[in-house]
Amino acid sequence: MIEGVLLKGYGGFYYVYAEDRVWECSLRGRFRIKDQDFLPGDRVRILPESNTKARIEGAEPRLNFLSRPSIANVDQALLVFAMTSPKPDLNLLDRLLIQVTYSGIEPIIVFTKLDNYNAETLSPDSKPQPFVSDIYRRIGYTVFEVSNKTGTGIAELRNRLEEKISVLAGPSGVGKSSLFNALSEGKQLKTGEISQKSQRGRHTTRHVELMVCAGGLVADTPGFSSLFLPKMKREDLAGYFPEFEEYRHKCRFSSCLHDKEPDCSIKAAQENGEISRTRYEHYRDFLQEVIAAERRY
The answer to the question of residue 228 being in a domain is: no
The answer to the question of residue 229 being in a domain is: no
63 secondary structure, DSSP code:
S
Same domain, 172 and 83: yes
Domain edge (last residue) among 59, 82, 108: 59
237 secondary structure, DSSP code:
G
Q: 142 or 86: which carries more pLDDT confidence? A: 142
Same domain, 72 and 102: yes
DSSP per-residue string spanning 157-179: HHTTTTTSEEEEE--TTS-HHHH
Segment 2-30, tens digit of pLDDT? 999 999 988 788 999 999 999 999 987 76
Same domain, 137 and 212: yes
The answer to the question of residue 227 being in a domain is: no
Same domain, 95 and 196: yes
Residue 31 has pLDDT above 70, yes or no: no
The pLDDT of residue 156: 95
Instruction: Average the pLDDT over 44-61 and give the result.
Output: 93
Same domain, 101 and 196: yes
The answer to the question of residue 143 being in a domain is: yes
Domain of 28: which CATH number?
2.40.50.140
Q: What share of the chain is helix, strand, coil (3-state, %, to 5)?
A: 30, 25, 45
C-alpha 217/C-alpha 86 separation (Å) is 27
Strand 21-27 with 43-48, pairing? unpaired
- Tally of domains in the chain: 3
The answer to the question of residue 226 being in a domain is: no
Same domain, 144 and 256: no
Average pLDDT score, the chain: 84
C-alpha 202/C-alpha 171 separation (Å) is 10
Which has the closest alpha carbon to 141: 176, 106, 168, 180? 106
Domain of 291: which CATH number?
1.10.40.50
The answer to the question of residue 225 being in a domain is: no
The answer to the question of residue 23 being in a domain is: yes
Domain edge (last residue) among 35, 59, 83: 59
The pLDDT of residue 189: 45
Same domain, 47 and 71: no
| Dihedral sign (CA 35, 37, 43, 48) | positive
Determine the 3-state secondary structure of 145 from DSSP: strand
E strands, 64-188, in order = 65-67, 70-72, 76-82, 106-112, 142-145, 165-169
C-alpha 277/C-alpha 269 separation (Å) is 9
List the binding residues: 112-115, 170-178, 251, 256, 258, 264
Domain of 216: which CATH number?
3.40.50.300
Residue 101 has pLDDT above 60, yes or no: yes
Instruction: Average the pLDDT over 93-105 and give the result.
Output: 92
List the binding residues for GTP: 112-115, 170-178
| Dihedral sign (CA 9, 11, 13, 19) | negative
Segment 158-172, tens digit of pLDDT? 999 999 999 988 888
Segment 172-227, tens digit of pLDDT? 888 888 898 899 875 554 444 333 443 444 433 346 789 999 889 998 665 444 57
Same domain, 207 and 73: yes
List the binding residues for Zn(2+): 251, 256, 258, 264
C-alpha 166/C-alpha 105 separation (Å) is 10
Q: Indicate the pTM of the whole model.
A: 0.84
Same domain, 241 and 154: no
Same domain, 90 and 171: yes
The pLDDT of residue 87: 87
C-alpha 220/C-alpha 207 separation (Å) is 8
Segment 127-137, tens digit of pLDDT? 445 578 899 99
Contacts of 105 by beta carbon, 8 Å cutoff, 6+ apart: 64, 66, 74, 75, 76, 77
Instruction: Average the pLDDT over 130-145 and give the result.
Output: 90
Residue 113 has pLDDT above 60, yes or no: yes
Measured in residues, the chain has a length of 297
Domain edge (last residue) among 22, 40, 59: 59
Same domain, 169 and 240: no
Same domain, 102 and 140: yes
b/e code 212-234 from CB counts within 10 Å (16+ = b): bbbebbbbbbbbbeeeebeebeb
Determine the 3-state secondary structure of 49 from DSSP: coil
Which has the closest alpha carbon to 92: 106, 109, 117? 109
Instruction: Average the pLDDT over 122-143 and give the result.
Output: 74
The answer to the question of residue 246 being in a domain is: yes
- Do 77 and 110 touch, CB atoms closer than 8 A? no
Domain that holds residue 77: 65-220
Determine the 3-state secondary structure of 229 from DSSP: coil
The pLDDT of residue 207: 64
Which has the closest alpha carbon to 79: 66, 65, 92? 92
C-alpha distances out from residue 43 to 4, 46, 72, 105, 284, Å: 6, 10, 9, 17, 39
